[in-house]
Amino acid sequence: MLLIPCPHCGERDENEFDYGGPAIDFPELSANTAEWHRAVHLPDLDECNLEEFWFHAAGCGCWIKTQRNIKTHEFQVFEQPNRGQS
């Protein structure tokens, strides 16, 4: 059971969220196949401090970005996604 710290609503039950997956640095669209393969299939994920996106569907309706240890389910810090960048 996750209690996800939403910056707008506080700690809320995971039931209220849709998962957006880990935050991955994708290359430029013009990058070659090998680079895209590495980014899509073999991303470097920090299991102790995984950056990921959640959509607070049954709350504020915002996408939020969190950092979570996927073994202990502890959340470290959280922030709103920077809408200015990809």
Partner 1 sequence: MRYSILSLATQAFHNHQHWPQIVTPEKLKSHYNIIIVGAGGHGLATAYYLSRNHGINDVLVIDSGWLGGGNTARNTAIVRSDYLLPASFALKHFALELWDSLSQELNFNLMYSPRGYVDLAHSDGELEHFMLRANAMCLGGASASILTRRALAEKIPSLNLDKQSRFPISGALFQAEGGVVRHDAVAWGFARKASDSGIHIQQNCAVKSLQVDNGRVSGVVTAQGAISADRILVAAAGGSAGLMADAGVKLPMQPINVQAFVTEPVKPVLDHVVNYNAGLSYISQSDKGELVLGGATDGYLSTARRGSFARIEDTLQRAAQMFPYLPNLRLMRHWSGTADIPMDGNAIVGKTEIENLFIDCGWGYAGFKATPAVGWKLAELLSGGQLPEMLEPFALSRFAEGRLIDDAGIGPYPWLH
Residues 28, 29, 30, 33: which binds partner 1 (CB under 8 A)? 33
On whether the CB atoms of residues 27 and 39 are closer than 8 A, the answer is yes
- Asked if 35 interacts with partner 1 (CB under 8 A), we say no
Number of residues that bind partner 1 (CB under 8 A): 22
Taking CA atoms, 70 is separated from 34, 40, 47, 60, in Å, by 28, 20, 6, 24
Binding positions for partner 1, rule: CB under 8 A = 1-2, 13-15, 19, 21-22, 33-34, 37, 40-42, 45, 47, 50, 52, 70-73
